[in-house]
Amino acid sequence: MQPSRSENFPLVIIIAIVALSYALHTVFDIFFEEWIKSQLEDHFGLTGAEMIERFGSLIVPGCFAIAVIWFIYLYIKRDFAAELAELKTPKLKCSFRMEDGGCVRPNSVIEFLAPRNGVMIKNRIGCDYYRVRVDSDLVSVHNTSGHLVSLKRDGEYLFNGENLPLTFAPAEHPDTMAKTIKNGLQEYLDLCAVTEDDNIILTTKNFAGPSSIPFVELFSKNGKYTFKVIVSSPDTAASWIDIDLEWSGQRTTAKFKSH
């Protein structure tokens, strides 16, 4: 069986030390041999000086080579450990594609409560649902939540930093605000619905709107709208996505695109 890289590593270290020692030995002989012998000859005689010089030409380069290789090894080990830790950290990924059947749910029905004559009445209306896909790599990511943090129209903020909570589908499930994203099993975060009567509804938790602008004014004009969504978990770093909506006032011509 072919030896693994880890099994060959000690041999590589030994070869590197021997090669570097040989190179340093050559340098030592060229630059220091005669000088060392001349310094020691008066004290130890010519034979003693030569023996000491030969001994030093082996020991000094060898020790220096070991120190250099050990330093390089520690540096590589630390750098590799940091990269390995990064690779082992689970990551969230947000995406949106019109071709993804989970991101675009045409001909759906949305239910919501609205006041009528002082009484809250359940309403149903047909719509096209738009969602953000959320994936995890490596392992499951727990307690994942999503927020709509800003909305722009033609580059100008309609609201920013209000962090409106979004629900994972299906919204009626108890984990809709703290979803476990399993490796290889995507989940979908509700973003908005375009209704059959040509209105846009932000599908936030309990359909809560921003405090800085009336809900009915958010999509009151045609233009290019940009949603910024952030998905986060205590297990890993947050992920974000920007999604553009080209809105001309009609459900049939609404065009969504991520970037």
Q: Per-residue pLDDT tens for 102-132?
A: 999 999 998 876 666 666 677 889 999 999 9
Looking at the predicted structure, is the pLDDT value of residue 190 above 90? yes
136, 183 Cβ separation under 8 angstroms:
yes
Mean pLDDT score, 1-10 = 55
Token representation of residue 52? 């000491």
Looking at the predicted structure, is the pLDDT value of residue 42 above 70? no
Mean pLDDT score, 65-93 = 74
187, 181 Cβ separation under 8 angstroms:
yes
Confidence at residue 3, expressed as pLDDT on a 0 to 100 scale: 43
Rounded (to 5) percent helix, strand, coil in the chain: 35, 40, 25
Confidence at residue 37, expressed as pLDDT on a 0 to 100 scale: 55
Q: Which residue has the higher pLDDT, 34 or 179?
A: 179
134 closest CA partner among 107, 106, 173, 167: 167
Q: At which residue do the structure tokens 């080579």 appear?
A: 65
Token representation of residue 184? 């290889």
The string of pLDDT tens digits covering residues 137-163 is 878 899 999 999 999 999 999 999 899
Confidence at residue 1, expressed as pLDDT on a 0 to 100 scale: 40
Confidence at residue 110, expressed as pLDDT on a 0 to 100 scale: 86
Q: Which residue has the higher pLDDT, 189 or 37?
A: 189
Mean pLDDT score, 168-176 = 93
Q: Report the chain's terminal Cα–Cα distance, integer Å.
A: 48
